[in-house]
């Protein structure tokens, strides 16, 4: 690990945004990027995903990981964007970052396949364990808690399998790795959900899972937050559900109860409130509201949600505003910084931001402030990239890995070794 004091740069992270892959690659080259060990790819679904994957592989080599998206958390433009492609190229000095990308079909056994692919993503990492001992030397036990070298970035392109996939990942890693990511997206307003692709080392595929296993002696961390708060004491109990379908609340058709909670006079009016008033599950130990967003109404009055809701759960009506949107980004950043061990020098932040958050930010006019909040927390030198997703993978404050709605999850990479 070539440590030479605080002036040493271990890693350089460079972001570039373009209308197409050629423009984005040209910007990277103009900034002096030559041989990145890893490139993250977030490409609008309107672009040729297979062509993008090939061009990046040819131009940059190294590993590549990412997915199609419905928009960007765009540090270069300082705002949210909805078309084009956003890249993050990571170059290193010395053996400080070891990535391995595995892209595979989910098929009919998502939990088992995810477990297998997760193990392969870490077994393929070319990493020297001796570096960890150097990093741990002289550390107190409490400091070692944040020196976990293993992180897993997750790209789903099999919409609807996320809960099963995450069970498989959790079985494979236990609490041995940070887990963060999102679900590949198509259109920002859900006009279609058919062209969702995962990227992995020059390849793309639908209905697949792309996993980026990382072993590193650089400080890194994950953080998650959402903008929502409970609306008084408005809530209901889930009395019948199956996966993502909630059939009844308080033993009545779910949509009827939801309509009453939001003060809607019809199912159609209730549907118009889905994104501004999702429901929440409380994590009591962390006082954290996990957001569950309604997606559609069935003929029998059942509600389909974007994440599974167990029978017997208590759901509470939620709300947000422009201020809480910006504050949620700050909270996610601070949680990622804490998880990384409070590094003084941060190289990059990668955001996985729900399309419903993107939509709400556009309606509230908070998008630029949300992107700006990261640099206000960490400094102007930080590369900020991200994607608008069909669901976010992250670990709550209480340590639960889950598939979340209307949430932002972050991965933070520091230009600082765990021994510093």
Give domain status of residue 385, yes or no: yes
Helix H or strand E encompassing 118: helix 110-123
Exposure string of 106-121, with b = 16+ CB inside 10 Å and e = fewer, is beeebbebbbebbbeb
Give domain status of residue 215, yes or no: yes
Give domain status of residue 3, yes or no: no
Considering the domain architecture, whether residues 339 and 308 belong to the same structural domain is answered as no
Considering the domain architecture, whether residues 136 and 45 belong to the same structural domain is answered as yes
Confidence band, pLDDT 50/70/90 cuts, at residue 132: low
From its phi and psi, is residue 107 left (phi > 0), alpha (psi between -120 and 50) or beta? left
Considering the domain architecture, whether residues 371 and 306 belong to the same structural domain is answered as no
The boundaries of the domain holding residue 160 are 11-226+324-417
Give this prediction's pTM.
0.94
Considering the domain architecture, whether residues 374 and 328 belong to the same structural domain is answered as yes
Residue among 70, 80, 91 nearest 384 (CA): 80
Residue among 182, 195, 196, 311 nearest 245 (CA): 311
Give domain status of residue 1, yes or no: no
Considering the domain architecture, whether residues 40 and 185 belong to the same structural domain is answered as yes
Exposure string of 234-260, with b = 16+ CB inside 10 Å and e = fewer, is bbbebbebeebbbbbbeeebbbbbbbb
Residue 336's DSSP bridge partners are: none
Q: How far apart are CA 259 and CA 55, in angstroms?
A: 49
The SS3 call for residue 72 is strand
Residue among 126, 125, 124, 146 nearest 135 (CA): 146
Give domain status of residue 25, yes or no: yes
Residue among 280, 305, 310 nearest 160 (CA): 305
User: In degrees rounded to 5, what are phi and psi of residue 317?
Assistant: -70, 140
Alpha carbon 288 to chain centroid distance?
18
Whether residue 5 has pLDDT greater than 70: no
Give domain status of residue 2, yes or no: no
Pick from 319, 339, 365: which residue ends a domain? 319
Considering the domain architecture, whether residues 130 and 173 belong to the same structural domain is answered as yes
**Cα-based angle 41, 33, 131 (whole degrees, multiple of 5):** 85
- Write the CB contacts of 263 (distance below 8 Å, at least 6 apart in sequence): none
Question: Mean of the pLDDT values across residues 285-292?
Answer: 91
Tokens (6 digits) for 42: 């977030």
Q: What are 61-110's pLDDT values in tens digits?
A: 999 999 999 999 999 999 999 999 999 999 999 888 999 999 999 988 99
Alpha carbon 217 to chain centroid distance?
22
Average pLDDT, rounded, for the chain? 93
Q: How far apart are CA 114 and CA 122, in angstroms?
A: 13
Question: Mean of the pLDDT values across residues 136-160?
Answer: 83
**Domains held by the chain: number:** 2
Considering the domain architecture, whether residues 331 and 183 belong to the same structural domain is answered as yes
Pick from 319, 343, 370: which residue ends a domain? 319
Considering the domain architecture, whether residues 93 and 178 belong to the same structural domain is answered as yes
- Distance in Å from the first CA to the final CA of the chain: 12
DSSP 8-state code for residue 363: H
Pick from 289, 319, 349: which residue ends a domain? 319
Q: How far apart are CA 218 and CA 236, in angstroms?
A: 45
Contact by Cβ (8 Å): 332, 409: yes
Q: CA of 349: how far to CAs of 131, 197, 392, in Å?
A: 24, 22, 15
Strand pairing of 178-183 and 392-395?
Answer: antiparallel
Considering the domain architecture, whether residues 70 and 199 belong to the same structural domain is answered as yes
Considering the domain architecture, whether residues 214 and 293 belong to the same structural domain is answered as no
E strands present in 243-325? 245-249, 252-253, 279-283, 288-292, 294-297, 303-305, 314-319
Give domain status of residue 71, yes or no: yes
Considering the domain architecture, whether residues 121 and 180 belong to the same structural domain is answered as yes
Considering the domain architecture, whether residues 302 and 335 belong to the same structural domain is answered as no
- Write the CB contacts of 124 (distance below 8 Å, at least 6 apart in sequence): 100, 102, 213
| Helix, strand, coil abundance in the chain, percent, nearest 5 | 25, 40, 35
Q: What are 245-265's pLDDT values in tens digits?
A: 999 999 999 999 999 999 999
Strand pairing of 208-216 and 97-105?
Answer: antiparallel
Torsion of CA 153, 158, 159, 163, to 10 degrees: -60
Q: What are 195-242's pLDDT values in tens digits?
A: 899 999 999 999 999 999 999 989 999 999 999 999 988 999 999 999
Confidence band, pLDDT 50/70/90 cuts, at residue 15: very high
Contact by Cβ (8 Å): 182, 224: no
Whether residue 4 has pLDDT greater than 50: no
Q: What are 297-322's pLDDT values in tens digits?
A: 999 999 999 999 999 999 999 999 99
Give domain status of residue 5, yes or no: no
Whether residue 35 has pLDDT greater than 90: yes
């Amino acid at each position: 690990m070539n440590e030479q004091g605080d002036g040493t740069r271990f890693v350089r992270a460079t972001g570039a945004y373009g209308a197409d892959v050629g423009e984005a690659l040209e910007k990277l080259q103009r900034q002096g990027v030559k041989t990145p060990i890893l490139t993250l790819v977030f490409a609008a679904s309107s672009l040729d995903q297979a062509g993008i994957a090939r061009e990046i592989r040819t131009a940059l080599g190294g590993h590549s990981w990412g997915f199609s998206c419905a928009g960007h958390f765009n540090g270069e433009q300082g705002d949210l964007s909805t078309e084009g492609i956003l890249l993050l190229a990571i170059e290193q000095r010395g053996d400080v970052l070891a990535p391995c990308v595995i892209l595979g079909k989910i098929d009919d056994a998502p939990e088992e396949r995810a477990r297998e692919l997760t193990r392969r993503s870490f077994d393929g990492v070319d990493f020297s364990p001796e570096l960890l001992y150097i990093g741990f030397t002289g550390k107190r036990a409490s400091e070692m808690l944040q020196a976990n070298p293993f992180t897993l970035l997750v790209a789903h392109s099999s919409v609807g399998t996320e809960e099963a996939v995450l069970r498989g990942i959790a079985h494979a890693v236990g609490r041995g790795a940070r887990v963060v990511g999102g679900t590949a997206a198509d259109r920002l307003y859900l006009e279609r959900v058919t062209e969702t692709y995962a990227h992995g080392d020059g390849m793309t595929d639908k209905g697949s899972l792309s996993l980026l296993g990382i072993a590193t002696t650089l400080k890194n961390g994950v953080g998650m937050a959402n903008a929502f708060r409970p609306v008084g004491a408005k809530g209901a109990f889930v009395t019948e559900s199956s996966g993502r379908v909630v059939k009844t609340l308080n033993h009545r058709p779910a949509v009827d109860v939801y309509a009453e909670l939001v003060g809607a006079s019809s199912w159609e009016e209730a549907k118009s409130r889905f994104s501004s008033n999702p429901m929440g599950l409380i994590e009591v130990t962390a006082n954290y509201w996990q957001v569950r967003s309604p997606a559609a109404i069935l003929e029998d009055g059942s509600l389909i949600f974007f994440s599974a809701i167990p029978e017997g759960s208590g759901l509470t009506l939620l709300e947000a505003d422009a201020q809480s949107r910006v504050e949620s980004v700050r909270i996610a950043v601070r949680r990622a910084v804490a998880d990384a061990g409070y590094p003084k020098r941060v190289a990059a932040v990668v955001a996985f931001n729900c399309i419903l958050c993107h939509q709400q930010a556009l309606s509230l006019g908070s998008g630029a402030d949300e992107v700006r909040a990261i640099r206000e927390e960490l400094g102007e030198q930080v590369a900020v990239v991200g994607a608008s997703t069909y669901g976010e993978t992250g670990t709550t404050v209480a340590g639960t890995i889950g598939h979340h709605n209307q949430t932002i999850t972050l991965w933070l990479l520091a230009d600082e070794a765990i021994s510093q």
